[in-house]
Amino acid sequence: MRTARRASNVEVPSFLRQLVKETEKMVTFFFKGGSRETGPGEEDNLDEDDGIPSPYLEHPILEKYVSEGGSPVGLNYAVASMQGWRAQMEDAHACMPQLRAELRDWGYFSVFDGHAGTTVAQYCARHLLDHILAAGGIQTNEDPEQVKEGIREGFLDIDRHMHKLARQDNWDRSGSTAAGVLISPRHIYFINCGDSRTLLCHDSQVVFYTEDHKPFNPREKERIQNAGGSVTLQRINGSLAVSRALGDFDFKEVDWRSQTEQLVSPEPEVYELERTPEDEFLILACDGVWDAIGNEELCAFVRNRLQVCDDLREICTQVIDLCLYKGSLDNISIIIVCFPGAPQVSQEALQQEAELEQQIDMKVEEIIQMMKCKDEDPDLLYVIKFLAAEEMPGLPPGGGITSKRDCIISAYQKHIMALRTQEPMDIEGSEEDSN
């Protein structure tokens, strides 16, 4: 079943493409909820004046990577990522719904948010699980404390290994956050190193989420200062915005301190929760998502979409679009992992969704006709602003009118085409009356 309607799949007339192109940045600006000092293009100009390459593009790259899969034990997942406004795609991910051999009832998912390059994020996506398994803490006779220690040792081991490779092979000076889950038949192990984040939706509520590692957090700040650094502008030495990460070896050169006592620590925090039938889904995402939407909002939005769409890939792409038009300027990556207890598509929810889209369609037509009566050109940005100011019941929780942007554009396209088709007839009728 494919239930979501996406305007991007419709052939858009050239005049509308031009209109959308011209108003794209204005629409993005509007959805950010207020003004800011400079936009991506303005930052670009400032950086060029300073001779520093801008981290942002003039226009976002909107192509998405999407994939899905599942396992015999009832885990279904989808992943989607998009470069967005960033000049380079530095996110990476790993999805293994079923591990090998005797661990075939286990699953592993992770996201990696690279910075200052792609090498560390991509290397970790390919090899981190191998280092975790090699630590020996994950066995069929599951001991949660041993599992957690094995994960920790795997992180420290891959960081040591990459440090050697970086010196030998002249790697870029990149680093990467890491957020992941190991799912056993009995437990979910939440893994976090940096400011990517994982959460669990259980019986319609967020019952657990990982805490971001930021330099201004008291415990992190103390470690940074003990290692001879400072926290300026909420960054390590005014530079790095995360306090734990893999890689970032320029921040790990205090030889007389251990790995976990450096300016940047590669040590993850690991928590376990027992699985229950009420577990619905997990969300793993880089901060390109969390910069734009909160934990509860995203949980509510995904739950709502699961009731009207059984394509997890489509739901992931809807989240990415939502974050982009809420103002995310970063790369955007998300993994959704569904348990057997996840919400299912319901006829009642589908009916409500159809009624909502019909209401939006009628409202768009009403706005266009109103503007025509005022002899004003119908403007997409005005239509969206008008709808955003309206109290419209039934909008997706956590998403609001922003999440129905494709529906708005589709309705706008239909009614503007109808209006333009009527215009020549109106002109001909006026000429006949004058004769």
Alpha carbons 54 and 86: distance in angstroms, whole number: 9
Alpha carbons 314 and 348: distance in angstroms, whole number: 20
**In the predicted model, what is the mean pLDDT of the chain?**
88
**What confidence score (pLDDT) does residue 426 get?**
54
**What confidence score (pLDDT) does residue 54 get?**
84
Averaged pLDDT, 265-274: 98
Question: Are 325 and 361 contacting, i.e. CB atoms less than 8 angstroms apart?
Answer: no
Averaged pLDDT, 219-234: 96
For residue 34, pLDDT beyond 70? no
**What confidence score (pLDDT) does residue 433 get?**
56
**Strands, E, within 30-131: which ranges?**
56-70, 76-86, 91-96, 107-115
Averaged pLDDT, 35-47: 41
What is the pTM (predicted TM-score) of this model?
A: 0.86
Which candidate, 211, 207, 210, 201, places its Cα nearest to that of 397?
201
285 torsion bin: left (phi>0), alpha (psi -120 to 50), beta (else): beta
Helix (H) / strand (E) containing 318: helix 312-325
pLDDT digits (tens, 9 = 90+) for 351-365: 999 999 999 999 999
pLDDT digits (tens, 9 = 90+) for 325-360: 999 999 999 999 999 999 999 999 999 999 999 999
Alpha carbons 204 and 372: distance in angstroms, whole number: 45
Averaged pLDDT, 177-187: 98
Averaged pLDDT, 225-233: 96
**What confidence score (pLDDT) does residue 420 get?**
78
Written as six digits, the tokens of 310 are: 């059984």
Out of 14-18, 206-210, 261-265, 401-405, which region has the weakest mean confidence (pLDDT)? 14-18
For residue 72, pLDDT beyond 50? yes
pLDDT digits (tens, 9 = 90+) for 76-95: 999 999 999 999 999 999 99
Question: Are 247 and 162 contacting, i.e. CB atoms less than 8 angstroms apart?
Answer: yes
For residue 222, pLDDT beyond 70? yes
Q: Which residues contact 261 (CB under 8 A, 6 or more apart)?
A: 223, 226, 227, 254
Q: Which residues contact 243 (CB under 8 A, 6 or more apart)?
A: 213, 214, 215, 217, 220, 221, 223, 224, 236, 264, 265
**What confidence score (pLDDT) does residue 435 get?**
53
Question: Are 203 and 281 contacting, i.e. CB atoms less than 8 angstroms apart?
Answer: no
**What confidence score (pLDDT) does residue 434 get?**
54
For residue 169, pLDDT beyond 80? yes
For residue 50, pLDDT beyond 80? no
For residue 20, pLDDT beyond 80? no
Written as six digits, the tokens of 291 are: 């910069």
Averaged pLDDT, 175-184: 98
**What confidence score (pLDDT) does residue 375 get?**
81
Domains in the chain and their CATH numbers? 1-37+343-420 (1.10.10.430), 75-339 (3.60.40.10)
For residue 14, pLDDT beyond 70? no
Averaged pLDDT, 131-144: 96
DSSP state, residue 268: P
For residue 38, pLDDT beyond 50? no
Written as six digits, the tokens of 82 are: 């998009």
pLDDT digits (tens, 9 = 90+) for 365-387: 999 998 888 887 778 888 988 99
Q: Crossing angle, helix 347-373 and helix 405-434, to 10 degrees?
A: 40
Averaged pLDDT, 243-265: 96
**What confidence score (pLDDT) does residue 176 get?**
98
